[in-house]
Amino acid sequence: MLHLYIGTDREKARAKMRADVGEVKGAEIVRITDAHTVDDLKTALQVGMFPGKRALIFESVCEIPDMREIFLESLGRLSKSDEDAFIYEEKPLIDVR
């Protein structure tokens, strides 16, 4: 399931996202931000790489062109996945919206 948070009020959006992530019980948290590498993103997106339930958190990954391409290609799979994916983008580009 995808959860999307957008907006320039970072504190409010991230507080809501943290609360929603907290509702997912027994999951390993995997967080990828714009400070990570493309390889980190690819690893996090791999199905079956990690045993057990995961909650995937993506923050500002669409700000990095190489990461954006890979991430957008994975949205279809993420939307159908049993894993919860939480996405925060402060100012998403028009084509990303």
State yes or no: pLDDT of 7 exceeds 90.
no
All residues at 6 or more sequence positions from 31 whose CB lies less than 8 Å from its CB, including other chains: 57, 58, 59
For residue 17, give the amino acid letter: M
8 A C-beta contact, residue 85 and residue 47 = no
Model pLDDT for residues 66-77, shown as the tens digit of each residue: 999 999 999 999
Render pLDDT for 38-83 as a digit per residue (tens, 0 to 9).
999 999 998 765 577 899 999 999 999 999 999 999 999 999 988 8
Provide the pLDDT for residue 21: 96
pTM, two decimals, is 0.88
Q: Are 50 and 20 in contact (CB under 8 A)?
A: no
